[in-house]
Structure formats: structure tokens, C-alpha cells
A and B are shown apart, each in its own frame.
Chain A
């Protein structure tokens, strides 16, 4: 039945190819080799690296710690934590804001950089989106377990049940529930839609019946029809367009948890932009932390190139400066406003209070150390970037700690108090890190860590691609 007419067909050159002009893709790739490089990890074409097992077991161990911490928490109640009046939120909210901030870079990369026609987003968007989903899952855990009676969490939603009580929709805490739920759901949909064509790739390249069954089902019968692609691209573009204001609104709402309260240094209009830039800062730090092992363990350096790492460094420098502007602005506003409450709280935070060291730890790790990113040499050094990103993780955690701990000193000395986390607080924080590591390890083992479809489209024309993304210019 088949009639091969091989004679006059146009042939693609087989390489070697000239290097990519922007240095965004290396390694002489063709359409086929991209699939083997990325899909091969998932389809067990190469053995699972030992380092994967090391990370996975580390994650599982810490996750076990989370299990123990939660079991005891549900047995004994939130009294096992260090929270008390006046610092009633403690680690739960610090960790919540820290995790959800980390998640935001995934949406920035997949949505905002898409709208801005930044082609370098392509090789990092998939694992950054996975990072978003897992980080939001870790974040969502904390308000839930802080509730005391977490099995009643559905009271936060307007579920028509027989006690005829409704949520207070004027409260930022209720806004938070809706913002985080929406963010998680939309990120998950965006991620899944992006994965469908890749599932089809894996289905067609699968080696075993099980792989064929699982990826075949997940691919939903995707066959790459031109009509389907047109709808797909439009949806992808519109989801990016919706996710962009969504990501700003989510962290704005998170900042409202503080800013709507009439507490000195919390009740500030700088909070929403300050929180959003901090979120992107910490998220890019996490992208660097994830990209380095992917480059080292899986040899993805030809797809996540030195140029990508350098650009991540630049984004961290820019957002780090915005965050530092926020710190400056807080102090300046409390000085210039002549409000004695604002100024006194600032002095307590920076100098007089028992937690002054945490403020300076924050300034060191978030403002001073990231200035090293001005040096191109350090931006181009993977391990230097890794170290600076680590500093940003610590700094962004301290930022929320400093904000929350402000409550320990107010204007009535009789209501001053101390806050110290217990070992259960620490175990829960480490356990949430374990949850993240475990989920991320499973992700890189079972799902393509870089979008195969988008990388193929991104290849230069000679190598079989389209030298860019039509979704950026031409989605209809």
C-alpha cells in the first residue's frame, strides 16, 4: 500500500550546525535528538542517575519528618508550636508567604516572559511551572494546619450547609483562600495544557506497554492536527494573559493579609509591589537552584545554557534591587511621616528590639550579597550564582520573619512578648522542603522536565524548527 517516492523530496541538512546566535540552545540538536534528550529521561532510555536517588531519599526522609510533625500536631494541637499572643501567626505565615513567593517565578517565566516575547523562557518554563505548583502546595499546607481544626477548612468556602453561616467576604483572609485556590487551579491547568503535546510525544516514543498506556491516556488522543494547534496556541496565549495579572493579584492579596491590618509598618501602600517583586526574586533563586542540578546531573547544559543562567542572575539583580527599595522606602516613610508609632516600630525592628539581628540578617542576605550579581564574571559562574541564590532564599525567609515578628513590640510595653519557634516548627518547615523535593524528583523522573514541543519549535529553521514561537506573534 505504501508508495515511497523518496526521489525529489526536500531533505534537511544533518549538521553540524552553526551555534545559536543568542546562545540559547547548543549541542547540534535536531527535532529527533531533542525528543531523545528530554523524553529519554522519562522513558528510561538512560538509567536513573544515582544523584536522583540521593535527592529523592533525602526528600522522602524530610517528608517523613513532616508526617511525624503533622501527626503530633493533629493529636496535640497548635500549642506545640511557639505561637502565642502577641505573635500569633509565627512560622505558619512566614513559611506560607515564603513558599508562595517561590512559586511566583514559574508563572512569571511561563506567562509574563511569553507576553514579552522573551524566547529564553522556553527551556526553563516547564520545570518552573512544576516548581510553582509544588511550592503553592507547600504554601497551602501552612494556613490549613494553622487552623487548629483543619478538617473544617471547607467553612472558608461558601458551601451551602445547614448551619447557615457564610464566609466574611470583606476579609483579606477570605480573599487569600480564593486567590490561592485560583492560582493553584489555573497553574495546574496551564501546566497540563502545555504537557498534552509532550504526552503525545512520549506515547509515540514509548518503550513498554505500561508507558504507552499511561502516556497514551494522558495525551487524550492528541494528534497534532493544525486546527487543534491553532486553538491550542490561542488558549496558551490567553492563559498567559490571564496568569499575568493573576500572579500580581495573588501576592498583592497575600500582602493584604498584613497591609489591611492597622499595625505600624504593616499598613503601607508599598506592600503589594514590594511583595510581588520579592516573590519573583525568591522564585528566580529557586529556578537557579533547580537548574544547576538539572544541568549537572542530567547534562541539560545544552538546553539550559550559560546564557539562561546569566539572564536568571540579571532578573535576580533587578528584583533584588526592587526589594531593597522596599526596605529603604519603609524606613524613609516612617521617618518622613513623623508618625511616632511608625518610627518607634522601625527602631524596635532595626535596633532596640530583641530581634534586631534578624533585620540585619535580612539586609545582608537580600540587599548586600545580591550586589555581587553586578559582576558578569559571577553571573556566569554557576556555583557563585547558586550561592547568591541561596542567600536570597535565606533573605526572603527572613523578610517575612521580620514582618511577622514586628508584633512582639507594640506601643504598650505591657503587651510586649517574645516569640521562639519550637522544634516542631522547624520540623514542619524542613518537612515542607521534603515535600517539595519529593514532588520535584517524581516530576523529573516521570514528566518531561523541559517542553519537548516548544524546544523543537524553537530550533533554528535549518535544524527543523521555526526559530521562535508563533504563539508569541501569531496566535489567532
Chain B
């Protein structure tokens, strides 16, 4: 037995403000942080480090991931060469030692680079949750300019301080071009 629920307005993801310049976005993010907002994100056509600073994300995790990835690749690469050429299928060439480690350095290095780079790329996409076919911000038609020439700040509905009316009023005070609600 099914009952159809009455049509509801879509859940709200947050409020989006649109700015003309990068500096305006930085200023707005700073004002929002000082007003106590924490669940928010800035969107821009190119990287603006100051926005991430204001969002409280001073350092990315990519460096650590690539370090560990590269180390694993290098160690594995070195041990594989030693095992295969020194133990599993030893070749006696002019009585030279089986554990001829200097000859294994080149491939160790190449594998270090390969695994560090691969873990960095995979790490970037995994941490950013990409590929992500759907995200609520794309519901706002004006947002297509986020990849062109406009800068956006979204204060999310999950923010403890979020309130549809006051957040909107707050964003109006940051001189945006427009303010829109982002449906979920």
C-alpha cells in the first residue's frame, strides 16, 4: 500500500553568492569565516590559494600520499630485482656478485617516480571524490560561469549557523552580483 507524499520543495544544499572578481571572493570568504561559518566552499575558474586559506584548509594531503606511494614503489622495485636476478634466477656473469645493488638503482628510481606520480593522481581524485557525475551546485544555472569568469561562495545548509534568511542577509552584505538558493 503506497501513498504518494505531497509534493515538497526540494531540500536545500545551501546559499550561493556570485562575485565578479577573485578579490571579492577572497573578501567574502574571509567575512564568512569571521562571522562563524565553517561549512562552505569557494568556486573559481582558476586556483586562488587565499580562498582555501580562509576556508581553513591550509595544507593538502597530496605530499604525504606521494611520499608514501613513492617509497613503496621504490622498495618493492628494488626487492623484486634482487629476488628475481639474485635468488630466483641467478645469473653468474664473470663471477660478479648477485647482489649488485648499484645496477638496480636505475629501475628503482623509475618505479619510485611512477608510483609516486600514480598515487598522487589517484589520491587527488579520491580525496576530491571525483569522478562525481552529480553535485547540487550545478543545479544553479548561473554556476556554469564558475568555469569561465565568475567566482562563487556557497554556504552549506549543514553549517550549524545556517539559517535560510540570516545567511542570505549576511551574503547580501558581501556585495555579490547575485544570490541564489542551491536545491539539493
| Residues from chain A with Cβ under 8 Å of B85 in the complex | 166, 168-170
A158 touches B84 (CB 8 A): yes
Size range of the interface on A? Answer: 35 or more
For B168, the closest partner residue in chain A by CB is: A3
Closest to B91 in A: A168
Query: Provided the pairs A12-B21, A169-B84, A178-B110 are in contact, do residues A201 and B120 lie with their beta carbons within 8 angstroms?
Result: no
> Does B175 contact A471, Cβ atoms closer than 8 Å?
no
User: Is the CB–CB distance between B132 and A220 below 8 Å?
Assistant: yes
**B177 cross-chain contacts in A, Cβ below 8 A:** 4-6, 9
Interface of B is mostly: helix
- Residue A227 at the B interface, CB < 8 A? yes
Knowing A5-B172, A232-B47, the reply to whether A10 touches B62 (Cβ < 8 A) is no
Partner of B41, one of A226, A464, A471: A226
By the criterion CB–CB under 8 Å, are A226 and B43 in contact?
yes
Task: Using known A-B contacts A221-B132, A224-B43, determine if residue A230 contacts B60 with beta carbons closer than 8 Å.
Answer: yes
The interface residues of chain A lying within 8 Å CB-to-CB of B22 are 464, 466
Query: B117–A186 contact, CB under 8 A?
Result: yes
Interface contact B131-A242, CB-CB below 8 Å: no
B163: chain A residues at CB < 8 Å are none
CB pair A476 B66 closer than 8 Å = no
**Quick one: which of A185-228 are within 8 Å of B by CB?**
185-186, 189-190, 192-193, 197, 200-201, 203-205, 217, 220-228
B residues 75-90 touching A (CB-CB < 8 Å): 80-81, 84-85, 88-89
Chain B residues whose C-beta falls within 8 Å of the C-beta of A456 in the assembled complex: 45-46
The answer to whether A235 and B146 touch (CB under 8 A), given A186-B117, A224-B43, A225-B42, is no
In whole angstroms, how far apart are the Cα atoms of A170 and B151 in the complex?
55
Which of A27-35, A286-294, A400-408 is the contact stretch? A27-35
A-B residue pairs in contact (CB < 8 Å), sample of 22: A8-B175, A35-B149, A167-B84, A178-B110, A182-B111, A185-B117, A186-B113, A193-B121, A204-B145, A223-B43, A223-B138, A224-B146, A225-B42, A229-B49, A235-B60, A235-B121, A243-B113, A245-B113, A256-B106, A453-B46, A457-B46, A464-B22
Interface on A for B, CB 8 Å cutoff? 1-6, 8-12, 30-32, 35, 158, 164-170, 174-175, 178-179, 181-182, 185-186, 189-190, 192-193, 197, 200-201, 203-205, 217, 220-235, 238-239, 242-243, 245-246, 249, 253, 256, 453-454, 456-457, 464-466, 470-471, 474-476
